[in-house]
Amino acid sequence: MRIAFMDRAAALPAPPPTFSRTGVVVALGIVVTYLIGLGVLGVTPWAIVERLPRLFSIVLTMFPPSPGSAAHFWTYLEALGETLAIAFVGTTVASVFAFPLGFLAARNVVAGRILHFMSRRVLDTVRSVDTLIWALIWINVVGLGPFAGALAIASTDFAALAKLMSEAIETADQGPVEGIVAAGGSRFHVIRFGLLPQVLPIFASQVLYYFESNTRSATIIGIVGAGGIGLYLSEMIRVLEWQEAAFLILMVLLAVAAIDVVSRRLRAAIIGAPKG
């Protein structure tokens, strides 16, 4: 028995080394870059520890969070409403534009390679400019206020949504499409009855995700003056009214949590999945 066991052990191939050479090199590179980065940026443990008491004293002054006065509370509530409105309008406008563009950018709908390539690159460019930068640009066009914020959100998201939309179209099942072509359907029929029923639920659930994330973006867009609660938040931090700042952050957290719950319900209803 013992001999047989040893034979088997000897016959087994040597175990692969735990770490490959490239793995070690890559890991070392990551660590060294990280350490150099810490040094260059001046983020040393000592510098952090030195200022920690100040951070703690700020956090302590935040308690208890309070809006200051009833009048402020109503102002903030209105600003929160404005924030949600910005997110809602922005997402709606973005999806209205993204929907047709998604078809244009999809490989299996538009045959022209050049058109496909161009629309993809344009979308990538629009997407890589941050919402806050778009907000600054739109402020120059329509002036300060929530409208600029809504347009900024629409600009960033329309590109992201169009990309997702085109990917959903490209991965759609070709069976129904071929069926409609075989039954003599026109191009319009193909899109309406072959692609839309497959793509629409995916698109709707993505739009809901974006609405959720846009409520988060809309809370900060006020920092540059494009409406919403961010204006008050940055103002309160600037004048060191920590209790009011904490109250505003709490309001944002609650609103985002509420939107999360609602959109989870809606998504479950749309894609027909069990509620969870």
How many residues interact with other proteins (rule CB under 8 A)? 58
Taking CA atoms, 225 is separated from 68, 214, 230, in Å, by: 22, 17, 8
Please identify, using beta-carbon distances, which residue of 104 and 245 lies nearer to other proteins.
245
Please identify, using beta-carbon distances, which residue of 177 and 217 lies nearer to other proteins.
217
Is the CB of residue 138 less than 8 Å from the CB of residue 148?
Answer: yes
Alpha helix ranges (H) inside 171-229: 175-182, 187-189, 196-220
CB atoms within 10 A of CB 139: 20
Q: Is there binding between residue 160 and other proteins (CB under 8 A)?
A: no
Residue numbers 200-239 binding other proteins by CB under 8 A: 216-217, 219-220, 223-224, 227, 233-234, 237
Among 28, 32, 47, 271, binds other proteins (CB under 8 A): 47
SS3 65: coil
Pairwise CA distance, residues 158 & 106, whole Å? 15
Stretch that binds other proteins, among 7-15, 66-74, 103-111, 244-252 (CB under 8 A): 244-252
Is the CB of residue 204 less than 8 Å from the CB of residue 118?
Answer: no
Please identify, using beta-carbon distances, which residue of 78 and 187 lies nearer to other proteins.
78
Among 6, 142, 258, 262, binds other proteins (CB under 8 A): 142
Minimum separation from the CB atom of position 107 to other proteins (A): 17
- What is the DSSP code (8-state) at residue 142? H
Among 140, 183, 184, 274, binds other proteins (CB under 8 A): 140
Query: What is the residue whose two structure tokens read 């409208």?
Result: 147
Pairwise CA distance, residues 70 & 249, whole Å? 17
128 exposed, middle or buried (CB, 10 Å; 0-12, 13-18, 19+)?
Answer: exposed
Please identify, using beta-carbon distances, which residue of 34 and 117 lies nearer to other proteins.
34
Q: Is there binding between residue 60 and other proteins (CB under 8 A)?
A: no
Which chain residues interact with other proteins by CB under 8 A?
30, 33-34, 37-38, 40-43, 47-48, 51, 54-55, 58, 81-82, 84-86, 88-89, 92, 124-125, 128-130, 132-133, 136-137, 140-143, 145-147, 149-150, 216-217, 219-220, 223-224, 227, 233-234, 237, 240, 245, 249, 252-253, 256-257
